[in-house]
Amino acid sequence: MYRAARIVILTGAGISAESGLRTFRGADGLWENHRVQEVATPEAFHQDPELVYRFYNERRRSLATVQPNAAHLALARLEHEWGGDLLLVTQNVDDLHGRAGSRNLLHMHGELLKGRCLDCRAVRAWPGDMDQTSRCLSCGGGPMRPHIVWFGEMPLETTRIYQALDRCDLFVAIGTSGHVYPAAGFVEAVGPGARTLELNLEPSLVASAFQRSLTGRATDLVPTFVNELLGP
């Protein structure tokens, strides 16, 4: 791959698994005996806001107990040393890519450490717990919701993502099961000349759409992949 090539990387929960963060379908996506898909929705938030606040408070608190792993660090190294464009699109709402040093990073499903005002829609850092008494600091009064894209809601910055997919020379999906759309469909949206590679513990639901699909753990596959691109 020549050094000025444009790369788009998509990551999912599998890249954070070895840091100790649970994947969605590992524990068959259960949390307090609720299916994640039932908690991570606008309806659930409307129905039982305290349950949804609690779900995200617990996951936000767990971020302080985990560290980026070798796969996160390898992707940050690639961004800093690669000569061409590199966009890292993550489905993850954890902060591990940012803490590893990735900067050209797009959280398409939002971020645990941010909150959004239901009135003025302002988004701001929200490192602590959030509940029904939490108030917006921008308009001084609106109730807050997690800045998370729930099922049935539009992912963030999709125009920018599809432009990058259309122009890229290499698309790599790492640690994602290919269950959730539109992310699972990104491999079909790349331009005609692009190469596609999947790095995952087991073949994803969309593995057959990739030119190459390697199986293994992210902390093994990703540093090897980056060394091959950059040279040791």
Kindly state whether residue 44 participates in binding ligand BV8, applying the rule CB under 6 A: no
Reply yes or no on whether 34 is catalytic: no
Phi-psi region of 29 (alpha: psi -120 to 50; beta: other; left: phi over 0): left
Q: How far is the CB of 54 from ligand BV8 (least distance, A)?
A: 12
CA-atom Rg of the chain in angstroms: 18
Question: Please, what is the minimum distance in Å from the beta carbon of residue 140 to Zn ion?
Answer: 7
Question: In angstroms, what is the minimal distance from the CB of 9 to Zn ion?
Answer: 33
Of 103 and 181, CB closest to ligand BV8: 181
Please say whether the beta carbons of 106 and 160 come within 8 A. Answer: yes
Continuous segment of H or E residues that includes residue 44: helix 42-47
Burial tier of 184 (Cβ tally within 10 Å: 0-12, 13-18, 19+): buried
What's the closest the beta carbon of residue 141 comes to ligand BV8, in angstroms?
26
Q: Which stretch binds ligand BV8 (CB under 6 A): 75-83, 99-107, 121-129, 197-205?
A: 197-205
Judged by CB under 5 A, which of 117, 149, 199, 229 binds Zn ion?
117
Q: Which of 5, 30, 34, 37 binds ligand BV8 (CB under 6 A)?
A: 37
Tokens 């890229």 -> residue: 168
The verdict on 69 binding ligand BV8 (CB under 6 A) reads no
Q: Which stretch binds Zn ion (CB under 5 A): 18-26, 56-64, 85-93, 128-136?
A: 128-136
Distances (CA, A) of 104 to 7, 11, 88, 98, 210: 11, 13, 6, 9, 24
